[in-house]
Amino acid sequence: MFFYANPGTLAEEHATSFVETAQDQRSPSLKTRPLQRCGLHRQAAATAGRQGFGTRLRQLSLLLAWVLVLAAPLALADEARLEFAVGATTVASFDLDELNARIASQDVGLFDPEYGKQKHYRAFPLHDVLRLGLGPGWADDGQADIFFQAIDGYRAVSPVSQVAQDGGFLVFRDLDVEDWEPVGRMQANPAPFYLVWTGANQTTQHGYPWPWQLALVQLAQFDERYPQVPPKDAAPDSPASRGFALFKQRCVRCHSINGQGGVIGPDLNAPMSILSYRSIDLVKAFIRHPSLYRHTRMPDHADLSEQDLDALIAYFWHKSREPRPE
């Protein structure tokens, strides 16, 4: 069940391009599974209509079509559950009514960088949601990570220590509009659940997850979830390990290593390491300012120091030297 993912990266000073970034990070074909489902129902209805030759049969078909059309929203409502897993085991699952029965919601106002403007939401404090879904000791393991997976395939990961900070809210209603305001360049529907943060620096650029269409929250050890990504046998304070820490915080939601990680950007080690077909200088310059090279979904990382970039290179180098996975 772990094939979802999510958005954006830019700090508020980049708010204009942010919206584009977030949008681009979404896979267009998967943007709204609910709509696709409706499409299927409509197709079934049309087919049923064509098959009816006799009047009675046609009436029956039309009836069937309406039943299908009416059933679609019910099927959707059924599906809008937030699942919780510890490791590979699903431990809980709630729909909105069940969450509302167990947690107090509140109004939240914030500058939402995904929309580039002030927004008002009805939301549950993230702490309460995680305590309910993962159990009261969810934040005890400081080494663990929380993986957030969305219906559209986006996935983000953040350390427990970061997710445990104040400021996270699980939004279930947009108070500014009737339904939900489409978000991102793909104009995705953020429903059913959208994770936001109220702190000024709690942006995706600083490693805070902002998934919309959130479907699964998983508490897991990074090494177990993505065993291919950490640098094998690297000393904890080596440049490769520091580079990996940066990669995990800023890059893995978009990039994979040996097939594990995000799906928005290319794999940076398979089948070939990025360092085997690009020069180190170019890779470093690109990471810091991809926008100088291309119109791209990859955000600038202008705040990375020369040391940070060298650490990332050391990490890519380390991965390129490891034996290839089967």
Which residues contact ligand HEC (rule: CB under 6 A)?
9, 21, 25, 250-251, 253-255, 264-266, 268, 274, 278, 283, 286-287, 290, 294, 296-299, 301, 312
In the complex, the smallest distance separating the C-beta of residue 290 from ligand HEC, rounded to whole angstroms, is: 5
CB of 243: closest distance to ligand HEC in angstroms? 9
Cα gap 133→127, rounded to integer Å: 10
Q: Write out the DSSP string of 177-214.
A: SSS---BTTTTB---S-EEEE-STT-SGGGT----SSE
- Say if CB 280 and CB 313 are below 8 A apart: yes
Min separation Cβ 275 and ligand HEC, Å: 9
Instruction: Find the shortest distance in angstroms from Cβ 185 to ligand HEC.
Output: 12
Cβ-Cβ contacts under 8 Å for 302 (sequence gap 6 or more): 288, 289
Residue type at position 2:
F
Q: Smallest gap, in angstroms, from Cβ of residue 21 to ligand HEC?
A: 6
Nearer to ligand HEC by Cβ, of 192 and 243: the residue is 243
Of 173 and 253, CB closest to ligand HEC? 253
Nearest-approach distance from CB 31 to ligand HEC, in angstroms: 16
| Cα–Cα distance measured from residue 299 to residue 288, given in angstroms and rounded to the nearest whole number | 9
Cβ nearer to ligand HEC, comparing 253 with 319: 253
* Residue with smaller CB distance to ligand HEC, 218 or 256: 256
DSSP symbols for 48-72: HHHH--SHHHHHHHHHHHHHHHHHH
Cβ distance to ligand HEC smaller for residue 45 or 257: 257
Query: Which C-beta is closer to ligand HEC: that of 135 or that of 259?
Result: 259
DSSP of 250-313: HTTTT-EETTEE-SSS--SSSSS-GGGTS-HHHHHHHHH-HHHH-S-SSPP-TT--HHHHHHHH
